[in-house]
Amino acid sequence: MKELQERIKKDGIAVNEDILKVDSFINHQVDPVLMQHIGEAFAEHFKDQGITKVATIESSGIAPALMTAMCMGLPMIILKKQPSKILNDNLFQTEVTSFTKGTSYELTLSSKFVSEKDHVLIIDDFLANGEAATGAIRLIRKAHATIAGVGVLIEKAFQPGHEKLVSQGFDVYPLARISHMAKDEIEFLED
């Protein structure tokens, strides 16, 4: 998606060769017009697939997932991060390791909101090692729903997440693919 790529070039900050800061337009301050266009792009790619719900991981995925859900006319589910396991029959949980923080959390979903009748699209801001997306897939499968695919705003293609998901047969749709980063330097795959 040219618009997102241009915005990353203009306002994204490569902190080092691994971490990109996008807090002025995606995950701290949010650009709603950009989010709407992102929602339209995901809705177009994943249309006509019988998707029933759009799911994301709190909190950075919420803005793009909400716009995607709105464009598709579907409900959005927020998979919640809990610091520890909760023993409750009505909750599904799975442990995920955070790329940015190096810590673990329990990704949590209420059984009220996803069931075996659902075909779920997962949306997140970044795809790096694929831990967050893999955790979301595991959790949605615990609810016996099926996965339509994974849409991410920014894929760091030099990290293993894309390959991990594609090798398991998932439709992974990144809107911007970064091939290389160094301090203050960002290169895209399409460049």
Residues at the interface with ligand 5GP (CB under 6 A): 19-20, 22, 27, 57, 60, 99-100, 124-133, 161
Q: Which residue from 167, 143, 126 is spatially nearest to 4, judged by alpha carbons?
A: 126
Is 132 a known ligand-binding residue?
A: yes
* Number of neighbouring beta carbons within 10 Å of residue 163: 12
Closer residue to ligand 5GP (CB): 97 or 115: 97
State the nearest-atom distance from the C-beta of 18 to ligand 5GP, in Å: 7
- Token pair for residue 100? 């940015």
Q: Which is nearer to ligand 5GP, 20 or 55 (CB)?
A: 20
Place of tokens 């909101």: 113
CA dihedral for 164, 165, 168, 172, sign (positive or negative): negative
Q: How far is the CB of 113 from ligand 5GP (least distance, A)?
A: 20
Nearer to ligand 5GP, 39 or 174 (CB): 174
- Whether residue 156 is annotated as binding a ligand: the answer is yes
> In the structure encoding, which two tokens stand for residue 151, read together?
């849409």
Compute the least distance from the CB of residue 4 to ligand 5GP, in Å: 14
By C-beta, is 27 or 39 nearer to ligand 5GP? 27
Q: How far is the CB of 73 from ligand 5GP (least distance, A)?
A: 25
For residue 149, count other CB atoms closer than 10 A to its CB: 19
130 marked as binding residue: yes
User: Which residue carries 């329990």 as its tokens?
Assistant: 106
- Give the C-alpha separation, 146 to 24, whole Å: 34
Is 20 one of the annotated binding-site residues? yes
Q: Is 133 annotated as a binding residue?
A: no
Question: What's the sign of the alpha-carbon dihedral 46, 147, 1, 41?
Answer: positive
User: Which residue ranges make up the annotated binding site?
Assistant: 20, 27, 128-132, 156
User: Which residue ranges make up the annotated binding site for xanthine?
Assistant: 20, 27, 156
